[in-house]
Amino acid sequence: MVKGCLVAFDNSHQLLAKLWRLVCVSAVFLRNYMFLAGIVLGEGEHRLMLNTFEDASSY
């Protein structure tokens, strides 16, 4: 995922690249946040949230 973000950043228009980078950073932050929330809530909820995020990111 990170490699794809960097390639897009290099190849695309400056403004689009900045937006794409922001999206990538947000996605990574979201994933880390969900991981921490999963530790707090318990393993079952963590798996559920992770699966939901995977499904949403595939569209």
pTM of the prediction? 0.37
d(CA 55, CA 28): 15
Average pLDDT over all residues of the chain: 69
Contacts of 3 (CB under 8 A, 6+ apart): none
- In three-state secondary structure terms, 12 is coil
Range of the domain at 14: 2-57
Residue range 14-38, pLDDT digits in tens: 777 788 888 888 888 888 887 777 7
Number of domains in the chain: 1
Q: Other C-beta atoms within 10 Å of 55: how many?
A: 9
- Output phi, psi for 13, to 5 deg: -60, 150
